[in-house]
Structure 1
């Protein structure tokens, strides 16, 4: 007869060792019941080691005590009043506890009104301090400052503001923000969602040339427009171009060769650019070469494959070249070089 699995019966004194519920169980010191019974405490050469087997049960970790400062020990209500009066955004970043205590929708709205109030509704002869502009830009870059939060705050400043981004843009311009107020860096790069693009458009009227205001912001925006081209984010491309980001030949190549030649994006890049064949030029790194061999080769190949974008691009390049007085001889040479390649 085959050997059946023994059934454990609790409380059965006459059960075999395998049937007893204590079989294989460990004592609180880590030893099994059988091991405890077999320990010979009378033999000094075999001392009883209570730590044996203790590795099977992890030791309880002692909790580290965190000592709070006197400021952190204050009630949340008092801390929020202090934060409201100080308008010092650094207070919320002093410790994780303070950050949790100062997390309130109402408090964020009050803080926004205080800090942005220093850079809004200023007369033309009023000089806004750099520290005030920096504080406002840092506030706009906070995590709680989302597009939805900003729209809600703007509605509180202008009752009845609603609808499209243009309505909020008009309302923001009506507050007369100070010149030199930079958008937060988080709005100058992708991924280009509709919320991020709409939020960035709010600041586009007051920022004419990012490069003149901040090299960090300009560099981020230059990378951001490359992302916008890759994502076919037309509104983002147009907004960044209006803020002084200069298109380049490399950027136009990416739009045409790498990302499907989106007509709206290509037109925007060429409409904002200056040609490197223009007589008066200052910085060739920000100019587009209308006779770039790679662009003409892509257009000719697309035309041969029946893609109408190739014909369209050739006409657009010729039109822009005419605007910049590129000689017909140069255009003819470009077409010949492509045909011979």
Structure 2
């Protein structure tokens, strides 16, 4: 039998101290204290392979543009203008990138709004044109600043306040059936939103008849206006046909601190015939126990709003019921 060469196998006894880091006791100790484990050779090989230049190539997505998207920007903008189709810009990111500009917005606004302008009181625009105009006004790019610029282009002049913009819009004779966009019927009630809504609220007397969905949004916007303490928003929404209710008064008084201007605006609302109290008689209970209890409680606490509300409720009830205030 051939003599085999002896191979020396290192063990714990003959190993040097620095080579004993993998010993059983220290390995258990490292695991116990949460020491980081060393990567295996297979993991190092895999990591090296992943870091190779040929393995790190990105898979680039090849986007095939349609014939329309490949047209020059100028031609696309003309198509967008003549079609007056707002949805065209939202069909792809490529089209949106080529159609988003102040110049395009102004041309599109003229194209779409011109179809709902120039009407007399009894004339009505088509439902398609009205829907397109409302859709345009509701777009994100249609801001109060852009709309003012468009009005100044249609009616050149010096504009210093919202009343002058309102006069310019009225001179264009918009259709009485034009509904304001939903974004203007809800908060937050900033000064720009109030100015923008004022342009359209003047011509609307019955929002519920024009568009029940818009009326529902306006009710939510009304509650936000009361919470934010915006009597201007409350007045404009009421002028558009929102009917005051007992719940509205409770929200203004009990939940929102009884802002005097807002409470007076609700209780003194005039309907489209101009009669005071007709709407309040139907929908607002001036003898509501919750309102009177709140007024009495805060009056005892020394808050003058309690006495003020009591006098106001008595005055409004006497006005409606034709009863002298002294008898209440």
The equivalent residue for 1:297 is 293
**TM superposition shift of 1:59:** 4.3
2:313 alignment counterpart = 317
Contact 1:133–1:180 under 8 Å retained in 2? yes
8 Å contact 1:228–1:237 — kept in the other structure? yes
Cα distance between partner residues in 2 of 1:157 and 1:199: 17
Task: Indicate how the Cα distance of structure 1 residues 77 and 313 shifts in structure 2: closer, same or farther if over 3 A, else same.
Answer: same
| Aligned equivalent of 2:86 | 89
- Find the aligned partners of 1:49 and 1:301 in 2 and give their Cα distance: 75
Tell me, in whole angstroms, the C-alpha distance in 2 between the residues paired with 1:265 and 1:128.
Answer: 35
C-alpha distance in structure 1 between counterparts of 2:324 and 2:121, whole Å: 49
- Once the two structures are TM-superposed, the CA of residue 328 in structure 1 deviates from its matched residue by 7.8
Q: Is residue 2:70 matched to residue 1:76?
A: no
| Cα distance, 1:61 vs structure 2 | 3.6
Answer yes or no: is the 8 Å Cα contact 1:161–1:168 preserved in 2: no
Q: Could you tell me which of 108, 116, 119 is aligned with 2:113?
A: 116
Aligned to 2:303: 307
In structure 2, C-alpha distance between the alignment counterparts of 1:50 and 1:325, rounded to whole Å:
91
| Structure 1 partner of 2:96 | 99
Quote the residue 2:247 is aligned against: 250
How far 1:266 sits from its partner (Å)? 0.2
Deviations 1:172-212 (CA, angstroms, capped at 9, x unpaired): 11111001100000000001101001100100122111100
Q: Can you list the C-alpha shifts for 1:198-232, whole angstroms capped at 9, x where unaligned?
A: 10010012211110011110000000000000000
- 2:50 counterpart of 1:53: no
- The more displaced of 54-63 and 232-241 is 54-63
Q: Report what 2:169 is aligned to.
A: 172
Q: Matched residues in 2 for 1:112 and 1:162: separation?
A: 20
Deviation (angstroms), 1:123: 3.5
Native 8 Å contact 1:273 1:288 kept in 2: no
| TM-score, normalised via structure 2 length | 0.79
What do you get for the CA RMSD once the two structures are aligned? 2.8
Whether the 8 Å CA contact 1:229–1:254 is kept in 2: the answer is yes
> Structure 1: any 5+ residue segments left out of the alignment?
1-34, 36-47, 275-279, 333-341
Pair 1:203 & 2:200 matched: yes
Moved more, 207-216 or 265-274: 265-274
How many residue pairs end up in the alignment?
281
Q: Is the 1:122–1:177 Cα contact (8 Å) retained in structure 2?
A: yes
Distance across 2 between alignment mates of 1:49 and 1:270: 77
More helix by share: 2
CA contact under 8 A between 2:138 and 2:181: conserved in structure 1?
A: yes
Question: What is the aligned counterpart of 1:181 among 155, 166, 178?
Answer: 178
Please tell me whether the aligned partners of residues 125 and 177 of structure 2 are also in contact (alpha carbons under 8 angstroms): no
Larger CA deviation: 119-128 vs 141-150: 119-128
